[in-house]
Amino acid sequence: MSTFIVAGEPSLLAKNVEQELTYTSLCTVTAAVEIWYDPDPSSTIIEEDSVFVESFFAIPDEEIESKLHLQSPWLLRLELDRAKMIDRKLTMAYVAGRIAESFKTDLFVIWSEDNSEKLIIRCRVPGGGDKDDDGLGTVEEDLAPA
């Protein structure tokens, strides 16, 4: 039996092996990190995120909606580098899923589609939505004369 090697095939195989063996951290594929005050988790003040945020919440989910008021008004927004994502054969669902899996119920994660103009992951922590206490009340007590 003879084996045919097509020009370029060994380098393609080598590239596939490299992708399988290469350790990729979130930092490697992240183009930008931003923190926004975006108080309503079910909509957004960030115009370029509005389509995928609205799409996510278009189909009602009672479990998610019941916890929206508990989410922080602060948003961690990650923009991923498309070329690096493609080079490593990563999808948005995979990367965002790994983030969500790592933090379990401590982080609410939504993301844009792989074909979006920008690859965006939005993360919020629970516990900041309806709280008026900012933790500064004890400072006044500590400074009061004895």
**Block residue for tokens 């103009």:** 117
For residues 104 and 43, give the distance between their C-alpha atoms in angstroms, rounded to a whole number: 22
DSSP three-state, residue 127? coil
C-beta atoms surrounding 33 within 10 Å: 11
Q: What is the dihedral of CA 111, 26, 94, 87, to 10 degrees?
A: 110
**Full set of structural domains in the chain with CATH:** 22-131 (3.30.1360.140)
Average of per-residue pLDDT values in the chain? 82
Nearest CA among 113, 97, 107, 94 for reference residue 55: 113
Tens of pLDDT, residue by residue over 54-72, are: 999 998 888 888 888 899 9
Tens of pLDDT, residue by residue over 76-110, are: 999 999 999 999 999 999 999 999 999 988 999 99
